[in-house]
Amino acid sequence: MLIRLAKLCLISGVSGVFWSPGSLRERMFRVMSRFLSNATNRIDAKGRVSVPSAFRSVLAQRNVQELYCFQDFVFPAISVGGPDLLERFERQIAAEDPFSPDANEMSLLIHGGGVFMKLDAEGRLMVTDFIRGFTGISDEVTFVGRADHFQLWQPQAFVAAQAQARGERKLAGKRS
């Protein structure tokens, strides 16, 4: 527990300049905080789970009311961010050849595979079948910060993926 809270404490206090897309105003917001670290919360009998407070305050700072959630392209995880996330994807569609089947597939994933969700008054979200089926989540959720968004993982799947990523980096070379 001590370790978990210590991790969370880091999140709110982060500051510093880093590059991100968007206008100056948007960047000013993002500079102040980002989604960092991870925490595991339980799902209650009604299928709800509390979003970590640190993540909620990041959302509040960014004036994010509705959460755009989609099934991640590479990991068995649900990625969660503001509507700007969806707009970035749509911009990406518009950027590449809009005639390509690629764009059509992209739309199938980000529109057909994406949901807008809202938190309740206590900062909890419903863990729907949409989330459970794709992630394998049953009774616990691991929230993982990814700077401009965060992810929902099945706890064991997360530690496994993290361990594998760590191993691959070790094999890849001695770069930091």
Partner DNA sequence: GCGTATCCCATTGACGCCCATATGGTCCCA
Partner DNA sequence: TGGGACCATATGGGCGTCAATGGGATACGC
Q: How many chain residues bind DNA (CB under 7 A)?
A: 29
Please tell me whether residue 42 binds DNA under the rule CB under 7 A.
yes
161 binds, among DNA, a copy of itself, none (CB under 5 to 8 A by kind): a copy of itself
Which has the closest alpha carbon to 127: 141, 114, 115? Answer: 141
Q: In sequence order, what are the beta bridge partners of 50? A: 124
Contacts of 12 (CB under 8 A, 6+ apart): 33, 54, 57
The smaller minimum CB distance to a copy of itself, of residues 45 and 143, is found at: 143
Q: Is the dihedral of CA 109, 159, 148, 9 positive or negative?
A: positive
Taking each helix axis as running N to C, give the angle between helix 2-13 and helix 53-61, from 0 to 180 degrees, rounded to the nearest 10. 10
Residues of span 82-141 touching DNA by CB under 7 A: 118, 120-124, 126, 128
SS3 151: strand
Least distance to a copy of itself from the beta carbon of 87, Å? 8
Return residues touching a copy of itself (CB under 8 A). 3, 6-7, 10-11, 14-15, 18-19, 31, 34-38, 71, 73-74, 83, 87-90, 92-94, 98-99, 101-109, 111-116, 130, 144-147, 151, 158, 161-162, 165-166, 168-170, 172, 174-176
